[in-house]
Amino acid sequence: MNVKRLLVFIALLGIAVATTIFTVNAVQANTLEEQYERANEAFQAEEFEKSVELYLEVLEMDASHQEARRKLAQSYIHLDRMEEAVQTLNEGIYAAPEAGALYTLLSDVYSKEGDIEKAYRTLKKGLRYSKDPSIQETYDHFLSKMSIDKERSYVQEGYEREYRLVWSDGDGNLYPLEAKWTVEDASIGEVTPVEEEPAVTFKGIETGQTEVVVTWEDFTQTMNVNVEEQVLEEVTFSPEEWDAFSIGESLTIEATGEDAAGEEMTFEPDWAVTEGKVQLMSDGPSATLTAKESGLDVLTVSYQDFTKEFPVMVEGESESESFVQTNVEGRGRIAVTPDQESYETGDAVQLQAIAEPGWTFVRWAGDIEGTQSAIEHTIDEHLKVTAIFESNSHELNLTIEGEGEVFRDSLPNTYSHGETISLRVRPAPGWTFAGWEGDLTSSTPKARLTFDEDKQVRAVFVEEEQDEDEDEEVQEEEEQEEVKETTKYRLNVGKSGKGTIKQSRSGSSFEDGTLVTLTATPSNGYVFAGWHGDVTHSSRTVTVKMNSHYSVNAVFEEAAQEPEPEPEPQPEPEPEMYTLSTSTNGQGYVKVSKQTVQAGESISIQAVPAEGWTFVRWEGDGSGSSASTSMTMNRNKQVTAVFEQEKESSSEEE
């Protein structure tokens, strides 16, 4: 009996325990599911502070809940709490290395933070530990955003171009990468790292073509660089601009080229028109355009890897037909909606300026003004509009005059638009800081500089007054140092007016014999007036051979305002015109010097008989028997030349 009771008790106890375990698990499952659902609702409502708390509670219940972890990281990202997002994802990857979605999201976080190397290595790690196919797709897409950032692949012998490997985020931001560069044929050119920047300069040594290879991690890309004796850098047209063509009208254009040294060069470009609205006949640097049909066309001149376009407009016979002619400055394009060949007066069009990666739309110019990238316009006549784009990054050219150092809180020489940096100076012993010059004017040793364009800044130090004995000691020390060290010379570059100066080599101190090319580019509304100082030249591009200290200043002047157009002269009355009509009586013809002339002018006429005939007289408004005469035209006139057949002689009759 005791055994039976014991068995019954054990059975009842087992049932109770099983029921309790089932109930606890069921309640926990329902609680986890409900908690996750509430977290998702907060996430969808963009209540990210709340979703963070709820997803953390879910992970406390189940640390392996990968979707909760991924959405927790996304909530942190929306709250700009990037460090917590990174920690959350790394913890998930450590716990579940096969979770592919965590690798792709973590790589995206690193990319947004500008840490491209970590973003890349996270994907590489995901490829090694996870079989999720989305990682390979993300990895391939990541590599497709890498490219060599270059303006041109042609380099003039003795000159340089700057290249860099960049990763683009697709939103206009470029991230330079520290990469390895090699040149296949070192006799044609060489690459040199740019100081304090992830970039290189390629210098052309002798003419030819060579491959340049860039390698970063497992990524490799190759480009061909051509070195020529002269490389086309700028083309100007003569005439510089022209009005809309009328159908049948012709114009001859001359193209003049300028090389990297600013010298005029002989070249035979390829001419082309894109739409066929004009007929093009080219002969070397000149081309003749003849308007064929109304509409817009684009004239293109190409040589080496240089291309310049010029818009062409041909007016039709309809006065209500108008055209929209677009142009861009910088890198970008204009989208016109509706996009059609011509418009009628009163039509509404939408214009949108779309910038290329690394560039930003600034403003409209021409027949439309404003700073909004999308605008609407009602057509009332031909519309000429230009969209102006500026680079998102600006360069800092920092030079030192005298002896001292400049410290800044950011080492690169390229900064994003609107970025502000701090500069401070430390004079060398025996020197004092005199002030800042260029785009920064201040006498304080600490200053801040905001980048709204390329900046030229010079820190000026002046030597303190010393006793003669001290001067002699300093001079002896300097002479000893000059014997020991390679001779270097300082290049100080400044400007007046608004514009930018680009150096082919960065820095301000160069070894003896180094060639440094300076290119001056005026801002809108300014023109380049010339170089002053130790170099005087009118060309925008000059090359300085560093065989002594140089101080060079680029002068930009405001462009002269176009004078008010003079009133058009009243048209003179059209002169009266009279026409002479001729006829013949007999066989022959009348030869006239002109058919129609102004009133008072004379027309010479000559009667020419056929063979066997002879001229007899003039009739009508003419008179006389002379075969050649003239008539003064004071009205429309008509003359008849009378010819008679010659009579046969008596001997012929016999």
User: Can you give the CATH number for the domain in which 521 is found?
Assistant: 2.60.40
Q: What pLDDT, in 10s, does the model give residues 533-553?
A: 778 777 788 888 887 788 788
Give burial (CB, 10 Å; 0-12/13-18/19+) of 84.
middle
Is 177 within a domain? no
The DSSP symbol for 347 reads: -
Looking at the predicted structure, is the pLDDT value of residue 650 above 70? no
As a whole number of angstroms, the distance between CA 77 and CA 113 comes to: 11
Question: What confidence tier does 21 reach under pLDDT thresholds 50, 70, 90?
Answer: very low
Residue 486: CB partners within 8 Å, gap ≥ 6? Answer: 511, 512
Q: Position of tokens 């913890």? A: 91
Can you state the angle between helices 2-44 and 48-61, rounded to 10 degrees?
A: 160
DSSP H or E run through 270 = strand 270-273
CB distance 521 to 540 below 8 Å: yes
The amino acid at 578 = Y
The order of strands in the sheet holding 359-366 is 324-329, 383-391, 359-366
On whether both 38 and 133 belong to a single domain, the answer is yes
Q: Which pLDDT band holds residue 103 (cuts at 50, 70, 90)?
A: very high
CA atoms within 13 A of residue 383's CA, in its CB half-sphere: 30
Q: What is the pLDDT of residues 279-320, one digit of tens each?
A: 999 889 999 999 898 888 899 999 999 998 888 888 877 777
Q: How far is CA 280 from CA 253, 292, 297, in A?
A: 11, 10, 11
pLDDT of residue 495: 79
Q: Which of 87, 109, 144 is the last residue of a domain?
A: 144
Domain shared by 586 and 549, yes or no: no
Instruction: Tell me whether residue 653 is in a domain.
Output: no
Within a domain: 609: yes
Q: Which pLDDT does position 485 carry in this prediction?
A: 47
Over range 339-354, report the average pLDDT: 89
**Is it the case that residue 339 has pLDDT exceeding 70?**
yes
Are 441 and 345 part of one and the same domain?
no
Strands (E), 464-549: 488-496, 499-503, 509-511, 515-522, 526-533, 541-545
Largest CA distance in the chain: 184
Ranked by mean pLDDT, which of 160-164, 517-521, 628-632 comes out on top? 160-164
Task: Provide the domain limits for residue 530.
Answer: 488-558
In a shared domain, residues 47 and 127: yes
pLDDT at 532 over 90: no
115-118, Cβ contacts within 8 angstroms, sequence gap of 24 or more: 116/167, 116/175, 116/177, 117/177, 117/217
pLDDT band for 41, please (50, 70, 90 cuts): very high
Whether 367 and 410 share a structural domain: no
**Region of poorest pLDDT, from 81-85, 266-270, 446-450:** 446-450
β-strand partners of 554: 495, 531
Residue 136: pLDDT over 90: yes
Residues 509 and 421 in one domain: no
Q: Are residues 47 and 139 both part of a single domain?
A: yes
Based on the fold, state whether residues 511 and 596 are members of the same structural domain. no
Residue 237 lies in a domain: no
Task: Tell whether 272 is covered by a domain.
Answer: no
The count of structural domains within the chain is: 5
Over 50: is that where the pLDDT of 527 sits? yes
pLDDT tops 70 at residue 563: no
First-to-last CA distance in the chain?
Answer: 184
Q: CA dihedral in degrees (544, 545, 549, 551; nearest 10)?
A: -10
Asked, for residue 183, whether it belongs to a domain, the answer is no
Of 361, 386, 411, the residue at which a domain comes to its end is 386
Are residues 129 and 73 located together in one domain of the fold? yes
Q: Identify the DSSP state of 188.
A: T
Residue 569: is the preceding peptide bond cis (ω within 30°)? no
Residue type, 108: D
> Pick from 524, 558, 592: which residue ends a domain?
558
3-class secondary structure per residue, 115-183: CHHHHHHHHHHHHHHCCCHHHHHHHHHHHHCEEEECCCCEEEECCEEEEEEEEECCCCCEEEECCEEEE
Asked if residue 175 has pLDDT above 60, the reply is yes
The residues that bridge with 365 in the sheet, in sequence order, are 386
| CATH code, domain carrying 59 | 1.25.40.10
- What pLDDT is attached to residue 345? 84
Domain membership flag for residue 280:
no
Tell me whether residue 634 is in a domain: yes
Read off the pTM.
Answer: 0.52
Q: 525: closest CA among 563, 497, 555?
A: 497
| Residue 479 in tokens | 């002479």
Residue 447 forms beta bridges with which residues? 423
